[in-house]
Chain A
């Protein structure tokens, strides 16, 4: 199993540009989510999904879109990048049922800088 993969590892954008961060998992997990990690702020949930076709907003959804067309993939789109979106982005997945483990599997992260 590759686990959770994310691309790209690093990205520099100019203000106003758009881009898509890719996330894929091969563990057949129903639940997938996106977090951003900023110094001193811990992990903040952006969007999450409990299955194909189902998405919902987390704590900090503004400026980001998601879709879930397959169980495996959960891309995060930045519509018009702003310097405040400079951060490290993590994708995570898990089973919905706590009885099947409950723990989150994280990708290696995408380090995004917006100038």
Chain B
């Protein structure tokens, strides 16, 4: 079956540090890949996505590249802010007729001033 594995948190950084949150996946075919962010007390919202190999998704300074050869979709940001403190979820939607997404467990990010 499909699966998504994320690095466990919490990830604790100082403001302006470089962020990487690792995400690897298992799926047949060519899944679409997503990063969602959940701020405290809120629902998840889409941060960025990529639908085919070598695509780079980007939004709000965050980037992730769809790497089919390593089945990875790592999230990066060059300089984090306190306001980026949240839980980040990696997810996939498999190709073919599947419409049920597969989510990772989530990685908590804490950014200190």
Contact = CB atoms under 8 A, between A and B. Distances in A.
Q: Please indicate whether A and B come from the same complex rather than being unrelated chains.
A: yes
Given A42-B106, A102-B32, A96 B99 contact: yes
A74 interface: no
Interface of B: 32, 34, 36, 42-46, 49, 51, 89, 91, 93, 95, 99-101, 103-106
A102 B44 contact: no
A34 interface: no
Interface string A58-69: 100000000000
| Chain A, interface SS category | strand
B46 A108 contact: no
- Give 7 closest A-B pairs by Cβ, nearest first: A106-B43, A42-B105, A106-B44, A102-B32, A103-B46, A102-B93, A96-B99
Nearest to A6: B43
B101 A104 contact: yes
18 contacts: A4-B43, A31-B99, A42-B89, A43-B103, A43-B106, A90-B43, A90-B44, A92-B44, A98-B93, A98-B95, A102-B32, A103-B34, A103-B46, A104-B36, A104-B44, A106-B44, A107-B43, A109-B43
A50 interface: yes
Interface of A: 4, 31, 33, 40-43, 45, 48, 50, 58, 90, 92, 94, 96, 98, 102-109
Contacts of A58: 100
